[in-house]
Structures are given as structure tokens and as C-alpha cells.
Structure 1
């Protein structure tokens, strides 16, 4: 089994439990040492020094694993295919292409293929999520005003 195959699978319950405990402890350490910009980590007989940003990223990865999610790391400058971008947004590829053609998400062409910068996709996703949250809050407000029991 290759490394890529190992990390593409969803964590089993034992792994999720271990990730949860590790994320909790790492969060506590980061909170109790806000001035620390690096940490010493022992792995068997090897000692590593990691930057704080890597520790925060590790905490986030462990948190996702604790929730049963598979995790993929993508550099923010990376370019994605339309299928990869559609998967991240949880939409169909044809719908994503409509968004691209409408100008909702910037893209470039490499020959006949469209490429989307990860950072642009995440900005679109954040705006979409914000709009959804605002709409949900407005609906809840209206339901309360109409005494609908919400």
C-alpha cells in the first residue's frame, strides 16, 4: 500500500479517537504557550524542531481526522482541475464550469483545459458559505417573528 493510498482512506474509529486526544492536547499546548514560535518533538530516537505554524496545521489535521474525515493538503498557490474544484465545492463538474464561464470564479486555460487557483476557489467558497449563513439567519429570524416555534 502506497503512502497516498494510506492517507486517502477515512480514519477508522481507533485512529479518530487517537487523533481527537492528540488534537486536544496539542490545542492545550498551543494555548498555554502563545509566545512559543517552535516546538521540540521526539519521534523514536530522533528529535525534530517544528515551527508553530506547522503545529497549528497538525492540530487542524488531527481535528479533521477526529471527525472521521480524510485530509488532503493543497498548497494555496496550486492550480486545480475542474473536477478537483467541483469535488471541493461538492458540486457537479458541469455546474462548476457554469460558474467559471459566468465569472464567479477566476480561472486560466492550459490549452483546452481550465485551471482554478486553490486560493480563488477558497475565496469563492468562503463567500458562498457566508451568504448561506446569512440566509439561514434571516430565515430563523423570520420564523421567530412569525412564532413558528424555531
Structure 2
């Protein structure tokens, strides 16, 4: 299994503006064509060349454009890619020691290669989804408690 390289595209001011405009068009197109089996035909303006893209790729492109429009850099990592603990920590925006604690607690699946830990990108994404769900549930409970106590106005 190969190690992932995390190349990041950092948007310039011009890229942010272009991404914002493109995002409006892409999301509007996807909303008008909700069929998940639908492929997307893209015409390149300079030479009228047609590209046929899977809808999933265009949905991923919309996500990339949204991040770029917000001025954030973007990295694309295949789900099966193995990450070093530092790469995984960087993607979670946590320290490496904190990530090691998550690995040792069984929160994120990993394997040992010699004495080095490797984290599959899909394991990291599963952890993020579970963590997001826990946070939403905690926020919902807090909101309900606040309302129950009459503090919510």
C-alpha cells in the first residue's frame, strides 16, 4: 500500500473569485439535475471540446470549489491512501501526540509498519463523521436543556 503525498492547492485572490463564480454555476446545475446516475457534459469554451464526467466527480469538484471560494487550501487524498501520523494529524488539525492518543484509544483504525503507525484516509474520515455526529448530538441536548430551563429566548 503506497504512502500518500498531500499536495495542497492554495488559492490566490483571483482563484477565490473564480471558484466562487464557478461554484454558483456548478451547484445550480447539480440542483437542476438531481439524478445520481446522471453524467455531466462539460464543454471547454476555447475549443468546444466535450468532457463527460461522473456526477460524483462534479459533486467533489463543488466541494473543492466551496473551500477555494472561502480562501482555504484543498488536498485530495484517495480513500485507500495510507497516511503518516503527522499527515493524519495535519488533516485533523490536531497535534501529533493528540492523534497518537486517538489511535491508542481505538478511536481511529491504524496499522503498524515496523514501529511506525499508518492511518488509512477512510479510517480518518469515519472518525470525523462519528465525531461530527457526537458534536451535533451534544449541541442538540444542550439546546433542549437550555430551552427546558427557560434560558432560550
Question: What residue in structure 2 maps to residue 25 of structure 1?
Answer: 25
What is the deviation of 1:43? Answer: 5.2
* Count of residue pairs brought into register by the alignment: 145
| Root mean square deviation, CA, Å | 2.0
What is the deviation of 1:61? Answer: 0.9
Q: Normalized against structure 1, the TM-score is what?
A: 0.85
* Deviation sequence 1:29-60 (CA, Å, 0-9, x none): 12223353131321532613322222222111
Evaluate the alpha carbon distance shift between residue 141 and residue 34 of structure 1 in structure 2; reply closer, same or farther with a 3 A threshold.
closer
Paired with 1:30 and 1:149, the residues of 2 have a C-alpha distance of 37
Question: What residue in structure 2 maps to residue 16 of structure 1?
Answer: 16
What is the deviation of 1:77? Answer: 0.6
Paired with 1:8 and 1:26, the residues of 2 have a C-alpha distance of 19
Question: What residue in structure 2 maps to residue 82 of structure 1?
Answer: 85
* Deviation sequence 1:76-107 (CA, Å, 0-9, x none): 11111111111122221111111111212111
2:118 to 105, 115, 118: 115
Question: What residue in structure 2 maps to residue 124 of structure 1?
Answer: 127
Structure 2, unaligned runs of 5 or more: 1-5
CA contact (8 A) 2:109 2:119 kept: yes
1:147 to 141, 146, 150: 150
Question: What residue in structure 1 maps to residue 42 of structure 2?
Answer: 40
What is the deviation of 1:15? Answer: 2.1
